[in-house]
Amino acid sequence: MTDERSPIDSDRLKERALDALTTARDRTALLTTCVEEPDLMAQHSPLMSPLVWDLAHIGNQEELWLLRTVAGRDAMRPEIDGIYDAFEHPRSERPTLPLLAPEEARRYAAEVRGRALDVLENTRFEGRRLTQAGFAFGMIAQHEQQHDETMLITHQLRRGPQALTAPDPEPVPPYAGPSEILVPGGPFTMGTSTEPWALDNERPAHERLVPAFRIDAVPVTNAAYQAFIEDGGYGDERWWTPEGWEHIRTHGLEAPLYWHRDGGQWLRRRFGVTEVVPPDEPVLHVCWYEADAYARWAGCRLPTETEWEKAARHDPETGRSRRYPWGDADPGPEHANLGQRHLRPAPAGSYPAGASPLGVRQLIGDVWEWTASDFLPYPGFTAFPYKEYSEVFFGSEHKVLRGGSFAVDPVACRGTFRNWDYPIRRQIFSGFRTARDA
């Protein structure tokens, strides 16, 4: 970890930035070379862009920030800026735009990257806020990894034979620990003012006073969620908010996305493969309304964002907030299921080395976890380096998700990292855990 108040080690930071940028580009290449050109150009769902749009958008954002803004260079292809502006064209209309063909998009992104590495080599990592501790390069690596996760979502949505493969997580004995963990009441430090690559919505660090609460030791599993289904949960209005009830009735929802019943068992489609729903995995592809309804049915509630972060970061022995549940060290394969090493969540109870000080497991990786909270700014929030990253999304329309998923790279995942989406979204790699008052 690099503290913004510590002396700058430019060589180490540049090595970290180079590694993050290279890792992201290798993943982008994997996601865009495993299918043929028609699949790259097609829109597999109106919720998502064609894969080739994401590919060129990644290059365009890198050019905008690293070449034009950091280095002050002229635009390489200003005529395409509008095409790849995410706010100018909604996803549903992007297939109608004059997109760069796959090979042209690859050449453009590669040329931008070559020039960006030259900028990296010659940039001072102090003085300007944008380049302090290498922030701009970390921001671009995170941006590319976020689009890689988006492209992985598109791969899950696409119909056709399996295109991606990865080993399954290691099998583990069934989780036999406590079902929930008591988190003592009291103050804790939420957010960060020192994490060098933290994005604006994670800042600044501030104190929150949190009453004692209990939180699930592991995410809600498929088996537990099936019990909700079999008990008639989707047909019982008592468990749903009025908006959630209207949504599931209008769209005929009866189970998580990609599930279907075959005789006496539930099957799911996962990256082109149909399989029996594994009972011990965290439930995946549920919207906020479904998570909230399950929690009510179970006699619980969704944790607030503040509760989730306290459970993940607060060390009651020292009183300090950690970077991650396990401490301040960057994530390793023993800590969490991240970085698309696997194409599924690990069984509930996995990664004991990644547990929080109180013993809560899998808070990082596996599935994004819905919280009860709206996406709002922290006290003292300042938009940086542009309002469109966070500020324009603040309000009651978006719910906060925390923790990351198996599709998230460690560079875009921290104990302070905040994700958000509409409460109807199910194509994302979303699950949840429940909480209740102590």
Q: Is residue 45 within 8 Å of 54, Cβ to Cβ? A: no
- What does the pLDDT read at residue 3? 42
Q: Is 387 exposed, middle or buried (0-12, 13-18, 19+ CB in 10 A)?
A: exposed
Q: What is the residue-averaged pLDDT of the chain?
A: 96
- What does the pLDDT read at residue 8? 62
Q: Is residue 18 within 8 Å of 123, Cβ to Cβ? A: no
Whether 1 has a pLDDT exceeding 70, the answer reads no
| DSSP one-letter code for 321 | B
pTM of this structure: 0.96
**Residue 221 banded pLDDT, cuts 50, 70, 90:** very high
- What does the pLDDT read at residue 9? 85
DSSP one-letter string for 356-401: -TT-----SSSSEEEEEEEE-PPTT----S-TTTTGGG-EEEEEEE
Whether 2 has a pLDDT exceeding 70, the answer reads no
Whether 333 has a pLDDT exceeding 80, the answer reads yes
Calculate what percentage of the chain has a pLDDT beyond 90.
97
Element spanning 142, H or E? helix 135-157
- What does the pLDDT read at residue 6? 47
pLDDT in tens, 350-402: 999 999 999 999 999 999 999 999 999 999 999 999 999 999 999 999 999 99
Distance CA(84)–CA(75), nearest Å, equals 14
